[in-house]
Amino acid sequence: MCSRCYEELEHLALTPQRIVEGKKVYCAGVYSKNLQKLIRGLKYHNQPDLAYFLARFMLDYWSQITNRTDFEVVPVPIFSKREKQRKYNHMNLVGEEFCKLTGNTLNTSLVSRIKNTRPQYNLKRPERIKNLENAFAVNSQNYKGKTILLIDDICTTGTTFEQMIKQLKKSGIEDIICLAATTPFGE
């Protein structure tokens, strides 16, 4: 990620792009060529060093919304088999970098993915809902009592956040905000 390519990344408006389960979902940027390359390189092409740039891009946006540093940052988990194949969870790496830059607390043990789901990118909303049904579990003993900031790379329909929020609510955790790097439907 060169500085010129990074500077070409565009941010979306500083307003929630959707409301999911009553919680605000912010999406940092326009799903453009450079942001697509950044996410794909990190996620599919074994370039973990790109996590810093995605975290910084998300922070450039997020810091215009709030300067709070008391969040519990919870990256979207991936199933253990997929993590072994990739050798890392790209969103955990982004979460680590985001927390280094902000001073927020990373919590990768609150939510786990307990179902090996299909990739979401070719699924319609009803298929996404079925695919992610009962995919997440919450270990409320690992909750530190702070506002949860769920983070993900792409928010298309909001189904991933929706299913995680439902599980967190079942565990009595209600103070939740969501932040994705991008949405294909940004305006």
> Residue 75 belongs to a domain with what CATH number?
3.40.50
User: pLDDT tens, position by position, for the chain (187 residues)?
Assistant: 788 888 888 899 999 999 999 999 999 998 888 999 999 999 889 999 999 999 999 999 999 999 888 999 999 998 888 888 888 999 999 999 999 999 999 999 999 999 887 677 777 778 888 878 888 999 999 999 999 999 999 998 888 999 999 999 999 999 999 999 998 865 4
Asked if residues 168 and 176 have their Cβ atoms less than 8 Å apart, the reply is yes
The pLDDT value recorded for residue 187 is 46
- Distance of alpha carbon 141 from the chain centroid: 22
Number of domains into which the chain is organized: 1
The pLDDT value recorded for residue 182 is 93
The pLDDT value recorded for residue 185 is 66
Asked if residues 41 and 47 have their Cβ atoms less than 8 Å apart, the reply is yes
The pLDDT value recorded for residue 181 is 95
**Residue ranges making up the domain that contains 12:** 3-183
CA distance 150 to 20: 12
The pLDDT value recorded for residue 23 is 96
The pLDDT value recorded for residue 7 is 85
Contact residues for 134 (Cβ-Cβ < 8 A; gap 6+): 114, 115
The pLDDT value recorded for residue 150 is 97
Asked if residues 150 and 164 have their Cβ atoms less than 8 Å apart, the reply is yes
11: left (phi over 0), alpha (psi -120 to 50) or beta: beta
CA distance 42 to 54: 9
